[in-house]
Amino acid sequence: MSPRVVRTVAGARRLRREAREAGRRVAFVPTMGALHEGHLALVRRARALGDEVWVSIFVNPTQFGPGEDYDRYPRDLEGDTRLLEREGVATVFAPAEREMYPEPPAVTVGFGGLEDVLCGASRPGHFAGVGLVVLKLFHIVEPDVAVFGQKDAQQAVLIRRLVADLDLPVRIEVAPTVREGDGLAMSSRNRYLGPEERAAAPALYRALQAGRRAVASGETGPAAVEAAMRAVLAAEPRLGVEYAACVDPRSLQPPAGIAGPVLLAVAARLGGARLIDNVLASPDGVHPETLSDLDRAGGFR
Ligand code: PAF
């Protein structure tokens, strides 16, 4: 059955009320569309967690900076809806920009500095925009559970803080990164890559694997782990490396010494694309796949 496509906040609230009255748990996957296997994996995870799956498709202008790819970000609501139909999605919430932002928002969402490191250092305002739109979406959809991808680890860390600090009644589940056969993390922005850039892109994942090996072989200094990742990235001259970081998965700061799981994260420009990727790494060599797995293993101290 085709998902119901709802374009208004009032329409979404009405359908949500109906789901609640029918006692159905809603599992929610927020997206910006241009869906690929990575998104569909989030949808499948959501299906396992709720009675019905809702997906939002909204290219959120407040999370794009000047000169970023807001205008050229791929949009294909029809194609996306067809993919979601095959996944049994109940509702697609696809508001127009004016519906979400009838006037420029005055409220801002801050994260106490967590939003200024890693990707935030080169994308000022990005996570404030993500925080705002996710908070709005949560208020509209009122999901029981929401699924985010490990691929956007910093976003997942911030959303978890948003939910914890504001006591939002939603469980956040972080689902594994889906990769191409050569390790490249799936992303809507991969379609910006030309053939030679596409061939260079798996260096990001190779760098993360080198970082994991360093952690698992007993390296306790985050700088040395970062150097191991940078050495791999440096071998690929097309990459404009933004960061290669070894940080605590909660504070996003480099740990004094690596004694437990750490987040290894890289970002690089490649042609017209900005690519990010990350993995968790554990000194015992049993690497959790996601922040949620780390929770379940009791890894956050
Ligand atoms: O991860 C994304 O696609 C976006 O940042 C999100 C969470 C849908 C907010 O616009």
| pLDDT, tens digit (0-9, with 9 covering 90-100), for 263-288 | 999 999 999 999 999 999 999 999 99
Residue nearest to atom 1 of ligand 1 (CA): 31
Please work out whether the CB of residue 81 comes within 6 Å of at least one atom of ligand 1.
Answer: no
pLDDT at 93: 98
Residue 241: strand, helix, or coil: strand
pLDDT of residue 152: 98
- pLDDT at residue 141 greater than cutoff 50: yes
List residues with catalytic annotation.
39
- pLDDT tens sequence across 69-87: 999 999 999 999 999 999 9
pLDDT above 90: percentage of residues in the chain = 98
pLDDT at 298: 84
Cβ of residue 118 lying under 6 Å from some atom of ligand 1: no
Domain 191-295: CATH architecture, name and number where available: 2-Layer Sandwich (3.30)
**159 Cβ inside 6 Å of ligand 1:** no
Q: Are 57 and 80 in contact (CB under 8 A)?
A: yes
Q: What is the pLDDT of residues 43-60, one digit of tens each?
A: 999 999 999 999 999 999
pLDDT number for residue 299: 66
Q: How far is the CA of 185 from the centre of ligand 1 (A)?
A: 16
Could you tell me where in the chain the CATH 3.30.1300.10 domains are found?
Answer: 191-295
Q: Is the pLDDT of residue 100 over 60?
A: yes
Triad 108, 149, 199: Cα angle to 5°: 115
Q: What is the pLDDT of residues 215-263, one digit of tens each?
A: 999 999 999 999 999 999 999 999 999 999 999 999 999 999 999 999 9
Distance in Å, CA 130 to ligand 1 centroid: 6
In order, the DSSP letters of 187-214 are -GGGGG--HHHHHHTTHHHHHHHHHHHH
Q: Using 50, 70 and 90 to split pLDDT, how confident is the model at 300?
A: low
Kindly report, as residue ranges, where domains of CATH 3.40.50.620 are found in the chain. Answer: 4-175
Mapped onto helix, strand or coil, the DSSP state of residue 294 is helix
With a 6 Å cutoff on the Cβ, whether 30 touches ligand 1 is yes
> 4-175 adopts what CATH topology?
Rossmann fold (3.40.50)
Q: In this model, does residue 153 exceed pLDDT 50?
A: yes
- Check residue 301 and give its pLDDT: 44
Amino acid identity of residue 261, one-letter, is P
Atom 8 in ligand 1: residue holding the nearest Cα: 31
- Residue among 108, 175, 178, 167 nearest 136 (CA): 108
CA atoms within 13 A on the CB side of 61: 12
Average pLDDT, the chain: 97
